Amino acid sequence: MDPLISHKQQKATDIRNAIREYHAARNPWGPDHRAHAVFLGVQRNNARRGFADDDEYIERGCCWYLGWLLLLVMACVGVWYSWDRAASSVQKLVESFPALRSFGKTHCQASSFVQVANCTFIETGLLMERLGQVLQSSYDD
């Protein structure tokens, strides 16, 4: 017994050594495997309860990623549906007003996404200009 260690500390050390020897005899992986398993269990429990220090220990399952993917798909579908409805309503507006019949005569030949977007912006600008002219002429009368 080391004179610098108290009796309680020496007793605790002896108990720990006895437990290590017991598990070394029973456990083919040795006492270090058990200590590592306990460490991993503590890390897993801390991560589950939200006490994790790092995000590396937080295990996200496939449902978490699938949920974000589903939200992304729903957002894309919502944007596409809104754009489609707006385009169809503008087309109906153009067809119902005789003053706007000249709108849409740009004859854009779109073969790529950039050209389609460019034609859409040009035609939207022309529509806004024609709507302004129609509103101005209605106020002048």
Mean pLDDT per 10-residue segment, the chain (141 residues): 72 83 67 69 74 59 87 94 82 69 58 72 81 81 65
**pLDDT digits 0-9 by tens, 86-124:** 877 877 776 776 665 555 555 666 677 677 777 777 878
Cite the beta strand spans of the chain per DSSP E: none
- Asked if residue 2 is part of any domain, the answer here is no
Number of domains composing the chain: 2
Q: Is residue 18 part of a domain?
A: yes
Q: Which two tokens stand for residue 104?
A: 């849409």
Indicate if 132 and 73 belong to the same structural domain. yes
How far apart, in Å, do the first and last CA atoms of the chain sit? 111
Do 135 and 69 sit in the same domain of this protein? Answer: yes
Number of H helices, E strands in the chain: 4, 0
Give yes or no for a contact between 119 and 106, defined as CB atoms under 8 angstroms apart: yes
124: containing domain? 63-140
Residues 94 and 121 grouped into a single domain: yes
